[in-house]
Chains A and B, each alone.
Chain A
Amino acid sequence: MEKPEAYKTLDEKQRRYWKKNVKLISSLLVVWALVGFGGGILFAEPLSQVSFFGVSLSFWIAQQGAILVFILLILIYAIRMDKLDQEYIKEANREKETK
């Protein structure tokens, strides 16, 4: 079967924007997995020996900490993407002016 050539419609700037977006998403999801599945589940047994303000650390992560981290991740994503959007627009406007 012949491999069809991928259709390219995005310009250089847009592709850079998408790459940065994917990189941001991946790093936030690494934190998501480490805190939720790592601290809250996979390492829950060793961490339940560590005490944290009257409860065990794994209990606190599983029932409080992870949720707080989830809020932060979504917030950071919204803020960073706003910034990325604006960088892109500024760059595009500058290009328009020079043309």
Chain B
Amino acid sequence: MSVEAITITMVIITFGIYTGIGWWSRVRDTSNFYVAGQNVPTVANGAAIAADWMSAASFISMAGLVAFLGFDGTIYLMGWTGGYVLLALLLAPYLRKFGKFTVPDFIGDRFYSSSARAVAAIATIFISLTYISGQMRGVGIVFSRYLQVDIIVGVLIGMAIVGFFALLGGMKGVTWTQAIQYFVIIIAFLIPAFAISYQLTGNPVPQLALTGSDIIARLGQIQVDLGMTEYMAPFTDLSLINVFMITLALMAGTAGLPHVIVRFYTVKSVRSARWSAVWAIVFIALLYLTAPAVGAFAKYNLIDTIADKPLKEVQEIDWVNKWETTGLLQFDDINGDGIINFTEGENNEVSIDGDIIVLSTPEVANLAPFIIALVAAGGLAAALSTASGLLITMTSAVSHDIYYRIFNKQASEKQRLRVGRITLLIALLIAAYVGINPPGFAGEVVALAFGLGAASLFPVILLGIFDKRMNKEGAIAGILTGLIFTLVMIGLILSESIFGTDGAILQSFFGINAQGVGVIGMLLNFIVGFIVSRNTEAPPLEIQQLIENVRAPEVDDESEIAASKEE
């Protein structure tokens, strides 16, 4: 069987499993549609959180990004894991205790205001839509390379499947499907990692091979010899201030992502919310601790295979050939000597998209076709699991927060489910459109989603829990300030790729680039929210009482039993 045939078989089998689970856990009432009826076990929820949040960016792009950024790649590694600490300690337990359906629900009730709810719902829709466009690129890459189909066909197949089980199963179906998808993702990531690690260093554990061998030192030396920057040296690609700001923006953004937060509503108690976070970070870290090793090994292998080799010889290698046809790997023999100069700057003759690092690893390392197929299935699982979580989140923002809570308070369950399903279809169509016509700035779009999350939702949720005096005036002023400032700054700094201006209107905000500028928006949100709330009326007494209640320990049967056992 050819690699393509095995890949198709693998994709059909895994998708069959996902669809089967969607059917098995189909739901008929709204509470199950949005939050899985709050009876998902902690470990399954942890795996679902991990799959939900580890997107095509984590699976396909991250190791490649780290490989090309070297030390500075830590912005993604620390940024996307450190945010979990904020989420687990500051937000998740209290949001669960508050016990609502969605993030706009919390903000609307806590700040006793339909305007606050609407602003939060719009921020949620905006963040989710920008984020989903990044997933579609992932789906497109995997299908176009491994199934040799047109990107349009690939995206349509993917969307049909996501839509099918999201419509059928709602959140509960998605939760179980995502838990299974996590295992597909992690197995697909780890097997090639073990193999390439063993081949290069003789140690199959990538994390140990990274430190226990001289591979990084060797890679650093080769890079310097080729005229690139040293791999291990900090701040060669990004300045210290940018590494700091981007890391913080990704952390606060992670904690403010509505589709991740909503996961913590699907557990049965505050205690399980805390333990779901533990499982989630363990599952996520498994991939995040492996990715920097995969990135370094893959870069070493890649340089070893193509640098200073005759162009003709390299182009005959099967995987080089196939990636060249997708346009993600290109050679340009500038000096016409027939030898590939792989370096940095104007003499570089190789243009390589970071996204192919993980996907090509098994081929570069000559692994069995079965593993190549597995990696394709893993990449698809990562993209689709995140896409479905985002779809459900957008759907609930429209049908629950805007339609039911603001426009039609008498809406029956049936009406709400119908609005939810219609929204889901519309969102699906928009996502498919974005997937087929990806914006030319996909990487920036994902960063934008995190920056916006950090600047809008994160500060307001945090103050809603920890600052009893925060009122609706402060919250609305804060969200709007953070959101507008960040949008304007990103627009100005990236004006070249977004609006097509000649050069950027603004180079940076005092040395901070577009990815990190969300942190400034976040600070402004905190400051404006604080000042406005202190100069307007305190929240009503029943709201203050509500916040007090969220702070009280939760006593349920489970914790009672645990306590009595110890006595």
Cβ A86 vs Cβ B559 within 8 A: yes
B307 adjacent to chain A (CB < 8 Å): no
Chain A residues with CB under 8 Å of B277's CB are: 74, 78
What per-residue 1/0 map shows which CB atoms of B263-290 lie under 8 Å from chain A? 0000000010011011001100100110
Contact of A66 among B66, B82, B234, B278 (CB under 8 A): B82
From A17, A68, A75, A82, contact of B552 by CB (8 A) = A17
The verdict on B243 contacting chain A, using a C-beta distance below 8 Å, is: yes
Interface residues on A, range: 35 or more
Chain A 36-67: CB-based contact to B (< 8 A → 1; otherwise 0):
11001110110010001111101110111011
Q: Which residues of B contact A (CB under 8 A)?
A: 66, 71, 73-74, 77-78, 81-82, 84-85, 88-90, 93, 207, 210-214, 216-217, 232-235, 240, 243-244, 247-248, 271, 274-275, 277-278, 281-282, 285, 288-289, 292, 466, 468, 537-538, 541, 544-545, 548-549, 551-555, 559-560, 562-563, 566-567
| Complex alpha-carbon distance, A59 and B217, angstroms | 12
Question: Which A residues form the contact surface with B (CB < 8 A)?
Answer: 1, 3-4, 6-10, 14, 17-18, 21-22, 25, 28-29, 32, 36-37, 40-42, 44-45, 48, 52-56, 58-60, 62-64, 66-68, 70-71, 73-75, 77-78, 81-82, 84-86, 88-90, 92-93
A92 and B275 alpha carbons, distance in the complex (Å): 24
> A78-B277, A88-B553 given as contacts; is B548 within 8 A of A10 (CB)?
yes
Which residues of chain A come closer than 8 Å to B216, judged between CB atoms? 54-55, 59
Judge whether A53 and B553 touch: CB under 8 Å: no
The answer to whether B285 and A41 have CB atoms under 8 Å apart is no
Which residues on the B side are within 8 Å of A58 (C-beta)?
A: 71, 234
CA gap between A58 and B71 in the complex, in Å: 9
B267 CB to nearest A CB, Å: 12
Instruction: Determine if A10 and B552 form an interchain contact, defined as CB atoms under 8 angstroms apart.
Output: yes
**Which listed residue (A4, A8, A92) contacts B555, Cβ 8 A?**
A92
Q: Can you give 23 A-B contacts (C-beta < 8 A)?
A: A3-B538, A7-B545, A9-B545, A9-B548, A14-B553, A37-B247, A41-B74, A41-B240, A41-B247, A45-B234, A55-B210, A59-B234, A62-B77, A64-B210, A64-B289, A67-B77, A70-B85, A71-B282, A74-B85, A75-B278, A81-B93, A85-B271, A88-B555
Contact A54 B551 (CB under 8 A): no
Contact B548–A8 (Cβ < 8 Å): yes
Q: Given the complex, which residues of A lie within 8 Å of B562, measured CB to CB?
A: 82, 85-86
Instruction: Knowing A14-B552, A45-B234, A78-B274, say if A86 contacts B73 (CB, 8 Å).
Output: no
A90 / chain B contacts, CB cutoff of 8 Å: 563, 566-567
Give the contacting residue for B288; candidates A59, A67, A84, A88; CB below 8 A.
Answer: A67
Q: Is the CB of B71 within 8 A of A62?
A: yes
B71 touching A70, Cβ below 8 Å: no
* Residue pair A59, B232 in contact (C-beta under 8 Å): yes
Could you say which residues of chain A place their CB within 8 Å of the CB of B73?
63
Chain B neighbourhood of A66, CB < 8 A: 74, 77-78, 81-82
A37 and B89 contact, CB distance less than 8 A: no
